[in-house]
Amino acid sequence: MTRASSATRAWPLIAGLALLAALWLGPLPDMARRAFSPHMILHLGVTLAAAPLLAIGALRLLPAQWLRSRQPLAAALAVSALEFVVVWGWHAPALHEAAAASPFMFAVQQASFLGAGLALWGTAFFSRSRRHAASGALAMLLTSMHMAMLGVLLVLAPRLIYAPQFCLGAFGLDPLADQQLGGGLMALFGGGAAAIGGAILALRLGGEEAKAQG
């Protein structure tokens, strides 16, 4: 592989690193510890934008013989469960407030968001085989469902779920409206991005089946 072709194949990895730097070194981390919708923008940016770019970029650079797994369904279910625990766990009031109050816990939260995102997208797009595509589509479907569910619960909450000092409101919104905006972002973009990932894998699965039949 030439240096030029390596750089071309690595562009998602480079873009993911640049996006991650912009997210973590910009104003969002400070805002996220004081208001809910900036927290959600940061969370979704890390898990559903930077993580897939990093995972897919890294996979494009691996030798083909490395991209093999005998248990794609088990891996997909495992990462789906991990991602569920990470997302719902950090949005439980105790952990969310701990991350907002402590720089160390905030760093742990962000690292776990990135790790869960890398595991999910890396496992889902690990290989172009039919088994991997089907397993990856299932993982994305499960992720889409639980993210949409969490988002809807946040939108419908009649009062603040988190302590007022960590929900001061942002973008001119009062605290409850800001919490509802964060929930809407989770439901729309969190559920939607995972659904799009699943749709891409389903199309890939259909293409592989057509090749097999042809």
Q: What digits encode the pLDDT tens for the residues 9-34?
A: 788 899 999 999 999 999 999 999 99
Q: How far apart are CA 185 and CA 189, in angstroms?
A: 6
Q: Which of 5-14, 156-165, 173-182 has the lowest mean pLDDT?
A: 5-14
Mean pLDDT of the chain: 88
CA dihedral 165, 99, 43, 194 (to 10 degrees): -120
pLDDT value of residue 7: 60
Q: What digits encode the pLDDT tens for the residues 73-132?
A: 888 899 999 999 999 999 999 999 999 999 999 999 999 999 999 999 998 887 767 888
pLDDT value of residue 10: 80
pLDDT value of residue 208: 56
Q: Would you say residue 185 has pLDDT above 60?
A: yes
Q: Are 168 and 175 in contact (CB under 8 A)?
A: yes
Indicate the domain borders of the chain.
3-213
pLDDT value of residue 205: 74
Q: Would you say residue 191 has pLDDT above 50?
A: yes
Instruction: Give the whole-number percent of the chain exceeding pLDDT 90.
Output: 65
Contacts of 135 (CB under 8 A, 6+ apart): 72, 73, 75, 76, 123, 124
**151 conformational bin, left if phi > 0, alpha if psi -120 to 50, beta if neither:** alpha
CA angle 82, 85, 91 (to 5 degrees): 140
Tokens in use for 134?
Answer: 């089907």
Q: Is the model more confident about 2 or about 16?
A: 16
